[in-house]
């Protein structure tokens, strides 16, 4: 997947985590309120990401919901560590994005 941000152009230091949500969990439980506030990360469905201007996001697989977490590159390590420790996350890929 290659996601292009709303304005395209040069990379501006952001990443998008494409997260597979563990069956039986909600995507909103991926990151704590504290992490969301500290990092200003956004957690979105594919539909929400498209509405925000991200393009090239394929539809979710029928049996596996996904969420997309966008954060500044400087916060990527913290977000990654929290996703790795989250029971709601069964895996993820990291994509650089252009904003």
Domain at 53, CATH number: 3.30.70
CA distance 22 to 66: 9
The structure's pTM equals 0.83
Q: At 17, is the secondary structure helix, strand, or coil?
A: strand
Whether residue 29 lies inside any domain: the answer is yes
What is the domain range of residue 71? Answer: 14-93
Q: How many domains does the chain have?
A: 1
Whether residue 7 lies inside any domain: the answer is no
Flag whether pLDDT at 3 surpasses 80: no
Flag whether pLDDT at 2 surpasses 50: no
Query: Confidence band (pLDDT; 50, 70, 90) for 12?
Result: low
Q: Single out the residue of 69, 57, 62 nearest to residue 14, CA to CA.
A: 69
| Mean pLDDT rounded to a whole number for the chain | 86
Whether residue 86 lies inside any domain: the answer is yes
Q: Are 90 and 67 in contact (CB under 8 A)?
A: no
Whether residue 98 lies inside any domain: the answer is no
What is the pLDDT at residue 27? 85
Whether residue 6 lies inside any domain: the answer is no
């Amino acid at each position: 997947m290659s996601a292009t941000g709303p304005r395209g152009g040069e990379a501006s230091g952001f990443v998008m985590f494409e997260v597979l949500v563990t069956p039986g969990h909600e995507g909103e439980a991926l990151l704590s309120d504290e992490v969301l506030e500290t990092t200003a990360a956004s957690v979105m469905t594919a539909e929400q990401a498209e509405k925000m201007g991200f393009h090239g996001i394929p539809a979710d697989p029928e049996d596996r919901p996904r969420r997309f977490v966008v954060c500044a590159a400087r916060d990527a390590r913290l977000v990654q560590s929290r996703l790795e420790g989250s029971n709601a996350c069964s895996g993820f890929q990291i994509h650089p994005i252009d904003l």
